[in-house]
Amino acid sequence: MSEAKTVAWLLILPTILYLAFFIGYPLFSTFVMALSGEEKAFDTFLNLFHDKTFWDALKYTLMLAGVIVPVQLVLAIALALLVNTKFKGYSTLLYIVTIPLALSDVTAALMSYTMFSPMGYINKFLMNLGLISRPIYFFGFMYKTREFWVIALTEIWRATPLVFVIILAGLQSINKEYLEAADIFGFTKAQKLFKIILPLLKPSIMSALLMRTLFAFQIFGVVWMLAGRDIPVLAGETYYQYINLNNPKMASAYAMIIALITLIISYIYLFGLRSKHLEEGVR
C-alpha cells in the first residue's frame, strides 16, 4: 500500500471506528436481540407483521413524513429567499425564525397543548370574538384527525428552522456573478429562481431533505405528548413495547424496521437523487 493510501486510511479511521462502535455494534446487538429467545429466529418479525398496530404505526409515520417534510422544505426555501434579500429588519426575522431550534420536542409539544387545549389560547380567542360558543376539542381518540394536524403543525413549526439554516447557508454561498449575468440577459425573478438559484441549491436541498426525512421517521416526543397511542408511530411503539410491555424483542424488531427504512431512504437520496453536477465532479 502506498504512503498516500496509508495516510488516507489513517485519516478516515476515526470515522470508521465511530460508525462501527456507536452505530454498527448497536444495530447488530438489536438484530440479535430481536432473533433471540425460545421462539424461531424470525417469529418476532412475523408476529410484528401480523400486528395491526404495526401497520397503523407505519401508516401514520409515513403520513406525517409526507406532510411535514415537503411543507418544511417549501417554507424554508421561501424564508431563506426572503432573509437573503437583507431587507431592513431581516436580522430580527432571522432571530425569530430560528428560536424553535432552542426548543426540545417535548417543550414544543407542551406549548402546542397549551394553545390547542379546550381552555387554551386559541379557544379563548375564538370565543372572545364570538366565533364559537364552546371550545373546539383537538385531542382525544374521537378527534384523531385534529390531533394529526396539530402534531403536523407543531413539528413543522419546531423543525423548519433546521431546514431553513441549511438552505440559507447554501443560498449565501451562490456566486452573485451568476445572478448579475442573469440580470444582464434580462432574466425575470422566476427565471432566476428556477434556472439558477434552485439548481445551484440542489446540494443544500438534498442535505436538508435527507436529514429532515430521517428525523421525520424517528418522530416520537411530539406525538407521544399530544396524542399518546391514539396516533401510533414506529418510534412510539418501540418505546411502548420496551418500557410499558417489557418486551425488548418486539421493541428491537420495531427498531430494526426504523433502521431499515432510514437506510433505504439514505440510499435513495444519496445515490438515486444525486445532483448531475456532483456526478460530473466525481467523474
pLDDT in tens, 186-212: 888 889 888 889 999 988 998 898 888
pLDDT at residue 275 greater than cutoff 70? no
pLDDT band at 281 (very low <50, low <70, confident <90, very high): very low
Residue 202: exposure state from Cβ atoms within 10 A (0-12, 13-18, ≥19):
middle
pLDDT in tens, 242-267: 999 998 889 999 999 998 998 888 88
Domain 42-282 CATH (choose: 3.40.50.300, 2.40.30.60, 1.10.3720.10, 1.10.4160.10)? 1.10.3720.10
For residue 11, CA distances in Å to 3, 23, 100, 218, 236 come to 12, 19, 36, 31, 38
* Domain range list for the chain: 1-35, 42-282
The rounded distance, in Å, linking the Cα atoms of 168 and 91 is 13
CA-nearest of 275, 265, 154 to 214 is 265
pLDDT in tens, 51-84: 999 999 999 999 999 999 999 999 999 999 999 8
Rounded to two decimals, what is the model's pTM? 0.85
Look up residue 281 and give its amino acid.
Answer: G
